[in-house]
Amino acid sequence: MGKPIILTGDRPTGKLHVGHYVGSVKNRVLLQNENKYDMFIFLADQQALTDNAKNPEKIIESVGEVALDYLAVGLDPKKATIFLQSQIPELAELTVYYMNLVSVARLQRNPTVKTEIAQKGFGESIPTGFLVYPISQAADITAFKANLVPAGSDQKPMIEQTREIVRSFNHTYKTDVLVEPEGLFPENEAAGRLPGLDGNAKMSKSLNNGIYLADDPDTLKKKIMSMYTDPNHIRVEDPGQIEGNMVFHYLDVFGKKEDKAEIERMKEQYQKGGLGDVKTKRFLLDIMERELAPIRNRRLEFAKDMGEVYRMLEKGSEKAREKAAQTLSEVKSAMGINYFNKL
């Protein structure tokens, strides 16, 4: 028996922020270093293009940026296969066969797709590629016979739909080539969805409320100093609220075990009155700087040779392609369309 296979990826639509980091990327590094899994991590640039066809530059640029973020956090091409979706044509081919097993109505009922369609304001003009991206995601997952898919909880409907496709395919073609994956979702929901600096539930580039792994120390400081706290906590002596106060929220997420006692003490003092926002922010800055400085420094090192970064992706993609081609060949055999192998 080989090791269990893990596959996960991100849409490259911008640099990774600390929300991505605490919500998923950090955990991938831990999984990678456990040495218990065969890991595939990829940039879903093809999926990102399903709603960015007319401004591909953003996606193209982000591929290099996110690859840098991956290397900076410690994902290691020697331990995990890091690849680029658009370079694996077998994924598109699998998608075509799976499309015949899924109704349009089923896609329209996918809760994540539904929410995104509303958010993106497509109206009557939903790109076909966008509507079918859950099927292409099923191709991503099944091409590598992934057993485990670590992802945010918004990806639950995608895993569910993938499992349905696997069952339908295996049943229809009386085979067991496809593997039903399990999702691996964040236990700590607070970290699973880190709110923005301004308290908005979502950290995002368009809201301009994020901290990026690439941010320099000055930017980090400015951002933390501008964080949303308790608007009624005006003077240091005033009692303050810790609920909805982003500084305390982030302290809970980024504080290590050894910081917990001090964080609890600060919470008490803040609620009683007598602790100023500047102090709590400086404390948070220290904690975040401690975690982010090594990442930022490694990122700067890797950025000196972008050629090397792309070569890493190219190599990873070649390796990933072999595995996907093997699965596609098994899929075609199961369907009986491997005409020339039968000669």
- Please enumerate, by residue number, every residue annotated as part of a binding site: 11-13, 19-20, 140, 152-154, 194, 202-206
Exposure b/e, 266-284, CB count within 10 A at least 16 = b: bbeebbeeebbbeebbebb
Residues 6+ apart with CB under 8 A from 279: 266
Report the residue from 137, 161, 209, 229 that binds ligand TRP according to the rule CB under 6 A: 137
Report the residue from 65, 140, 230, 277 that binds ligand TRP according to the rule CB under 6 A: 140
**Separation CA 224–CA 219 (nearest Å):** 9
Could you tell me which stretch among 124-132, 133-141, 244-252, 308-316 binds ligand TRP (CB under 6 A)?
Answer: 133-141
**Separation CA 111–CA 109 (nearest Å):** 6
Q: Contact 140/85 with Cβ under 8 angstroms?
A: yes
Site string for ligand TRP, 145-174 (x = CB under 6 A): ----x-x---x-------------------
Report the residue from 11, 233, 249, 296 that binds ligand TRP according to the rule CB under 6 A: 11
Could you tell me which stretch among 5-13, 255-263, 298-306, 320-328 binds ligand TRP (CB under 6 A)?
Answer: 5-13
**Separation CA 134–CA 190 (nearest Å):** 26
Could you tell me which stretch among 86-94, 135-143, 201-209, 333-341 binds ligand TRP (CB under 6 A)?
Answer: 135-143
Residues 6+ apart with CB under 8 A from 70: 25, 41, 82
Looking at the Cβ atoms of 86 and 137, the one nearer to ligand TRP is 137
Q: Contact 270/248 with Cβ under 8 angstroms?
A: yes
Instruction: Kindly state the helix (H) or strand (E) to which residue 14 belongs, with its residue range.
Output: none
Could you tell me which stretch among 8-16, 253-261, 286-294, 299-307 binds ligand TRP (CB under 6 A)?
Answer: 8-16
Tokens found for residue 209 = 């409320």
Show contacts with ligand TRP in window 33-72 (CB under 6 A): 44, 47
Return the biggest CA–CA distance within the chain.
86
- Which positions make up the binding site for ATP? 11-13, 19-20, 152-154, 194, 202-206
Nearest residue to ligand TRP on Cβ basis: 44
Binding site for ligand TRP (CB under 6 A): 7-11, 44, 47, 137, 140-141, 149, 151, 155
